[in-house]
Structures are given as C-alpha cells and as structure tokens.
Amino acid sequence: MQEIVRNMLLAIGEDPSREGLLKTPERVEKSMKFLTRGYSQNLDDIVNGALFEAESDDMIIVRDIEFFSMCEHHMLPFFGKCHVGYIPRKKILGLSKVARIVDMFARRLQIQERMTNQIATALMTILDAEGVGVVIEAQHLCMQMRGVEKQNSITTTSSMQGSFRSTLATRNEFTRLIR
C-alpha cells in the first residue's frame, strides 16, 4: 500500500521524497487500515454475548450515534448520526453494542443506503426483534468538496423492518422520538 501511495504522489505531481511527504505513505496505510477496520470485525465478536432477557416489549431507541465512513465511489469521508430503534421479543442488546454495530458497518467502504440496511438487518437477525428502524443523516464530502459542491446538503436514509415497516403507528412513534 505504501508503494501505491508513493506512486499516487508522483502521479499528482508531488515529490514523495520532500520532507513533509517522507512518512505520508506509512501514515496513509495506517489510516486506511483504521478507517476500514470493519472488514476484520464480525457481528458475533461485536455482540460478544451481550444479549439479555427482555423484561418488556417497549420500544428501545439509541439516537445520535456519531459515525464516520468512506464512500466506495470516491473514497472520501461521509459522516453523521445514526438513530436506531427496535421492539424486542425475547432479547435486548447491550446499548454500547448498538453503537459498535454501527461502527462495524461504517468502517468499510460504503454507500449510506447499504449501510442503513446492513445495520437494520443485523439487529433483526441477532435480536429476532418484532421490528427495527434505522435512520441515518449524513454529510458526504464527495458532494461537498467536489462535483456539485453543496456544503449544506444532508442525505437521509431509512430502513424499516418488521413492525416498523408494517405498522404505521410504530414507524411514526420512532420517527417522532428521534427528532
């Protein structure tokens, strides 16, 4: 990877041997491995047994989970907040695990639409929940720094599964509570 970065620097007209760029290939490699660490993670390790008996079937919401990701089209960052809600059947998940699941999917080359669905599907799978709702609001540097250059644009995606999709009242409660 370091050699690729050196070649990229040359291709854009830079001198990889100048003082400020000497360690850039090493730094970029380290940064990319950190930013894409989600590929080396899996759901079972993230959950790590933090499933507990549900004492009720009331909606659980974790909102404003900050995340950073990189778009797969330009490898530029997108970042924002993820809101997650679910209605348990028999199991609830440790709250920090919800944020860790968001991070696992965010730390891959992504598109926001897929990431939203991956988070919802993962929660439905591990919890066998009655329903799951995930809403992501994000800013994409590929839209802000290049292309249309719209600095204030926010992209919102949602994935509603189970009762969050089939029952309007459930979906409305969730969307009202995350606002």
Q: Give CA–CA dist 100/67, Å, rounded.
A: 10
Pairing status of strand 51-53 against strand 131-140 = unpaired
CATH code of 2-35, in short, is 1.10.286.10
Total Cβ atoms within 10 A of residue 69: 26
Encoded tokens for 145: 């720094």
Domain ranges of the chain: 2-35, 46-178
> Do the domains spanning 2-35 and 46-178 agree at the CATH topology level?
no
Average pLDDT over residues 70-75: 96
Predicted pLDDT of residue 144: 92
- Catalytic residue list: 71-74, 112, 140, 142
Average pLDDT over residues 97-105: 98
Pairing status of strand 109-110 against strand 60-71 = parallel
Pick the CATH number of 46-178 from 3.40.50.1970, 3.30.565.10, 3.30.1130.10, 3.20.20.70: 3.30.1130.10
Predicted pLDDT of residue 50: 96
pLDDT in tens, 112-160: 999 999 999 999 999 999 999 999 999 999 999 999 999 999 999 999 9
Residue type for 53, please?
Answer: E
pTM of the model: 0.95
